[in-house]
Structure 1
Amino acid sequence: MARRTAPPPRLGVGVTTLHEELMHRNNLHTSSTRSWEAVSGVGWHAPTPSCLPLAAVRTLSVVIPAHNVGYCLSAVLDALEGQHHRYKFEVIVVDDASTDVTAAVAVQHPIVTTVLRIPERAGAATARNLGTALARGQTVLYLDGDMVLPPHVITDIAARATDTTVLVGFRHNLPYDLHQGGRGVLAGHPDLAADHRVVWRPPVGRPLLYTGITLDKRFDGRPLDHTRDFLDLGYGRRYVDWDLPRMVVTALVAVPRSAVLDVGGFDPEFGRIGWGMEDTYLGACLIAAGLLIIPLRQAVGFHLDPPDSDQQWRHKLASWPDTLARYWDLMRRPTPTGNSQGFLAEMTELLRSCEVLR
Structure 2
Amino acid sequence: MSFSRLIFGATALSVLVGALLVEAYANAEFHPDHTAKPGQRSKVPAEVIDGGPIIDTRNGTVRSYRLPARTIALTFDDGPDPRWTPRVVEVLRRHHVNATFFVVGSQVIRHPEVVTELARAGDEIGVHTFTHPRLDRLPRWQRELEYSQTQLAIVHATGAKSALLRLPYTSSARAVDDTQWPLLREAGRLGYLSIMADTDSRDWSSPGVDAIIAGATPQGDSGAIVPMHDGGGDRAQTVAALDRFIPMMQRRGYTFTTVSEGLARTLAGPAVVVDAPTGAVDKRRAFALATAVVLADWVTAALRVLFLVAGVLTIARTVAMLLLAGRHARRRRAASWRWGPPVRLPVSVIVPAYNEKEGIEAAVRSLAGGDHPGGIEVVVVDDGSTDDTAALVEAMRLPDVRVVRIPNGGKPNALNVGVAMAQHDLIVMVDGDTVFEPDSIRHLVQPFADASVGAVAGNVKVGNRRSIVARWQHIEYVIGFSLDRRLYDTLRCMSTIPGAIGAFRREALQDIGGISHDTLAEDTDATMALCRAGWRVVYEERARAWTEAPTTLRQLWLQRYRWSYGTMQAMWKHRRAILDRGPSGRFGRVGLPLVAFFGIALPLLAPLIDIMFVYGLCFSSWMVTTVAWLAMFAVQVLTAVVAFRLDKERLRALWVLPLQQIAYRQLMYIVLLQSLGTALTGARLRWHKLHRAGSAAAAAPVPPVPPVAPAHPRTAAPRSGPATGTVYTSSSKESATPVGAG
**Partner of residue 231, structure 1:** 490
1:233-252 aligned within 5 A: 233-234=492-493, 244-246=494-496, 248-252=497-501
Matches within 5 A, 1:293-304: 293-304=537-548
Counterparts of 1:1-358 in structure 2 under 5 Å? Answer: 43=337, 57-109=344-396, 110-120=398-408, 122-162=409-449, 163-165=451-453, 166-175=455-464, 194=474, 196=476, 198-200=478-480, 222-224=483-485, 227=487, 230-234=489-493, 244-246=494-496, 248-270=497-519, 276-305=520-549, 310-319=553-562, 323-324=566-567, 326-332=569-575, 351-353=727-729
> Given the superposition, is the C-alpha separation of residues 155 and 318 from structure 1 closer, same or farther in structure 2, using an over 3 Å criterion?
closer
Distance change in 2, residues 1:44/1:312 (3 Å):
farther
Q: Which deviates more from structure 2 when the two are superposed, residues 159-168 or residues 318-327?
A: 318-327
More helix by percentage: 2
Which structure carries more relative contact order (alpha carbon 8 Å, separation 6+)?
A: 1
For 1:252, the aligned partner's letter is: I
CA distance in 2, matches of 1:174, 1:316: 17
Shift of 1:85: 2.3
* Matched AA of 1:223: D
Match of 2:145 in 1: none
Specify whether residues 140 and 320 from structure 1 end up closer, same or farther in structure 2 by C-alpha distance, changes over 3 A only. closer
2:381–2:403 Cα contact (<8 Å) kept: yes
Any conservation in 2 of the 1:147–1:304 contact (CA below 8 Å)? yes
Cα pair 1:133 1:344 within 8 Å, conserved? yes
- Matched residues in 1 for 2:720 and 2:424: separation? 15
CA distance in 2, matches of 1:316, 1:195: 17
Quote the residue 1:273 is aligned against.
none
Q: Kindly tell me: are residues 323 and 156 of structure 1, through their superposed partners in 2, closer, same or farther at Cα, counting changes over 3 Å?
A: closer
Letter in 2 for 1:175: N
1:251 CA drift (Å): 0.9
- Counterparts of 1:302 and 1:322, CA distance in 2: 24
Q: Distance in 2 between matches of 1:194 and 1:319?
A: 19
CA distance in 1, matches of 2:725, 2:424: 21
The answer (yes or no) to whether the contact 2:379–2:422 under 8 Å persists in 1 is yes
Structure 1 residues 115 and 283: alpha-carbon distance in aligned structure 2, compared to 1, 3 A threshold = same
Native 8 Å contact 2:430 2:501 kept in 1: yes
Residues 229-274 of structure 1: CA deviation (Å, up to 9, x unaligned): 621254xxxxxxxxx213x11210111011102211111243xxxx
Distance in 1, matches of 2:575 and 2:489, equals 24
Q: Give the drift of 1:96.
A: 1.5
The letter for the 2-side match of 1:327 is: A
Segments of 5+ residues of structure 1 without an aligned counterpart are: 3-29, 46-53, 179-190, 202-220, 235-243, 271-275, 338-342
3-state SS of paired residue (1:249): coil
**1:60, CA displacement in angstroms?**
1.0
Residue identity matched to 2:503? A
Shift of 1:132: 0.9
Structure with higher strand content: 1
Superposed displacement of residue 151, structure 1: 0.8
Mapped partners of 1:320, 1:155: distance in 2: 28
Paired with 1:43 and 1:224, the residues of 2 have a C-alpha distance of: 19
Cα displacement (A) at 1:313? 3.5
> Whole-Å Cα distance in 2 between the matches of residues 286 and 170 of structure 1?
19
**Identity between Structure 1 and Structure 2 (%):** 24
Separation (CA, whole Å) in 2 of partners of 1:347 and 1:198: 43
Q: Following the alignment from structure 1 to structure 2, what is the Cα–Cα distance between the partners of residues 310 and 115?
A: 34
Contact 1:85 1:154 in 2 (8 A): yes
Cα distance between partner residues in 1 of 2:407 and 2:350: 18
Mapped to 1, the partners of 2:567 and 2:370 lie a distance apart of: 36
In 2, Cα distance between the equivalents of 1:297 and 1:59? 21
Instruction: Give the direction of change, closer, same or farther, for the CA distance of 1:195–1:169 in structure 2 (3 Å limit).
Output: farther
Mapped partners of 1:321, 1:84: distance in 2: 35
Instruction: Evaluate the alpha carbon distance shift between residue 347 and residue 288 of structure 1 in structure 2; reply closer, same or farther with a 3 A threshold.
Output: farther
How far apart in 2 are the matches of 1:37 and 1:310? 37
Distance 1:80 1:251 in 2: 12
Which TM-score applies when normalising by structure 2?
0.31
Secondary structure of 2:541's aligned partner:
strand
SS at match of 1:116: strand
User: In structure 1, how many angstroms separate the alpha carbons of the residues matched to 2:568 and 2:343?
Assistant: 42
Query: For 2:499, what is the secondary structure of its paired residue?
Result: coil
Q: Shift in Å at residue 160 of structure 1?
A: 3.5
DSSP 3-state at the match of 1:259: helix
The answer on whether the counterparts of 1:77 and 1:111 sit within 8 Å (CA) in structure 2 is: no
Q: Which runs of 5+ in 2 are unaligned?
A: 1-304, 307-326, 585-718, 731-742
Alpha-carbon spacing, 1:267–1:309, altered in 2? closer, same or farther (3 Å): farther
**Cα distance in 2 between the residues matched to 1:224 and 1:158:** 17
Report the count of equivalent residues. Answer: 261
How many Å separate the matches in 1 of 2:417 and 2:474? 31
